[in-house]
Amino acid sequence: MNRRTIFTTATAALLLMLLAILPACDTGEPTSVPGMDSERDAPLKSDNDAYTQHFVRQAIDMYESDGLDATLEYYNTQESVDGQWYLFIYNDDDIALAHAVNPALVGRPASEAVGPNGYPAGEAIAAVADEAGSWFTYTFPNPQTGASETKHSWTVRHDGLFFGSGWYEPGTPKYDPPAYTQDFVRQAISLYDALGRDAAVDYYNTEESVDGQWYVFIVGEDGRTIAHFNPMFIGRDPDERIDAVGYFYGDDLLGAEESGRWITYVLTNPEQGAERRKHTWAVLHDGLIFASGWYEQRDT
């Protein structure tokens, strides 16, 4: 046997030994990271929806493997915060057990987790959470920027708890009043779908729900207003929908469809106390009409 043959044989034997050893050294198990299963299994953060669902799933996995105490201990620390992602955990009574970016909410009911203008975001999230997982979109402060932004939260009920997290994007700017108005109405409909008619009516009957020139009013099946921050409009007869210059806009409003429609008339801007041309976006949903509008700044 020549030297080349000996060398080739030895090299082959060495490679076989390495192949036999490597599987024993690398079991394929993910790296142990608190609250995370495997970094290699995580979607890219650019895929916000998928990463959020992954983030919540890791918390549930940790709960299953390490128990409630260890899970709460970890997710009540800043270490558990991953950029814009943080976890919140509530019990079956919808009392917060973990909330790293706002410890003051721990031990408090979901009803105390409110967005701008007292929007009952926490109650809505708790209401939609189920075992299959649910999304809910609303406005909430982003701890990274300190600004109120649009948040998309994914929540999952599991073993008498619900686990949630979400991702943020810049909200619709008020300098685009038509788009802001449509978004304002959309959030009202989302609240109605999550919490039901009574809760939505109760909220939009408050002055707290008013956001500058924007407020939501809800019209019932009989055409009468059932929610409005100004009590004088509650129960208003459809035949009385006449604006400040005598234009009857009642038929325009009651003709709203599920796709939504714009209606223009003249009304007092509550923010300025002056009559202005108002552009109202009205949407028919579940037999009710949800509407809000923006006012032109110039005199009519």
Closest CA to 228 of 196, 193, 253, 204: 204
* Residue 122: CA count within 13 A, CB half-sphere: 21
Q: Which has more confidence, 50 or 5?
A: 50
> For the segment 99-132, what is each residue's pLDDT rounded down to a tens digit?
999 999 999 999 999 999 999 999 999 999 999 9
Distance in angstroms (rounded) separating the CA atoms of residues 48 and 169 = 10
pLDDT of residue 31: 28
Sequence-separated (6 or more) residues with CB below 8 Å from residue 225? 217, 218, 219, 233, 234, 235, 236
pLDDT of residue 21: 32
Q: Which has more confidence, 121 or 2?
A: 121
Sequence-separated (6 or more) residues with CB below 8 Å from residue 277? 264, 265, 266, 295, 296, 300
List beta partners, residue 35. Answer: none
Percent of the chain having pLDDT more than 70? 86
> For the segment 11-46, what is each residue's pLDDT rounded down to a tens digit?
444 333 333 333 333 233 332 335 444 455 789 999
Q: Is there a contact between 80 and 100 (Cβ–Cβ < 8 Å)?
A: yes
pTM: 0.84
CA 78 distance to own-chain centroid: 22
pLDDT value at 49 more than 80: yes
> For the segment 286-297, what is each residue's pLDDT rounded down to a tens digit?
999 999 999 998
Distance in angstroms (rounded) separating the CA atoms of residues 6 and 11 = 9
The per-residue pLDDT of the chain, averaged, comes to 88
| Planar angle of CA 259, 261, 267, nearest 5 degrees | 150
pLDDT value at 89 more than 90: yes
* Residue 120: CA count within 13 A, CB half-sphere: 24
> For the segment 140-190, what is each residue's pLDDT rounded down to a tens digit?
999 989 999 999 999 999 999 999 999 999 999 999 999 999 999 999 999
pLDDT of residue 113: 96
List beta partners, residue 51. Answer: none
Distance in angstroms (rounded) separating the CA atoms of residues 150 and 147 = 10
Percent of the chain having pLDDT more than 90? 79
Phi and psi dihedrals of 155, rounded to 5? Answer: -125, 145
Kindly tell me the sign of the dihedral angle through the C-alpha atoms of 52, 56, 62, 68: positive
Q: Is there a contact between 162 and 126 (Cβ–Cβ < 8 Å)?
A: yes
* Residue 162: CA count within 13 A, CB half-sphere: 28
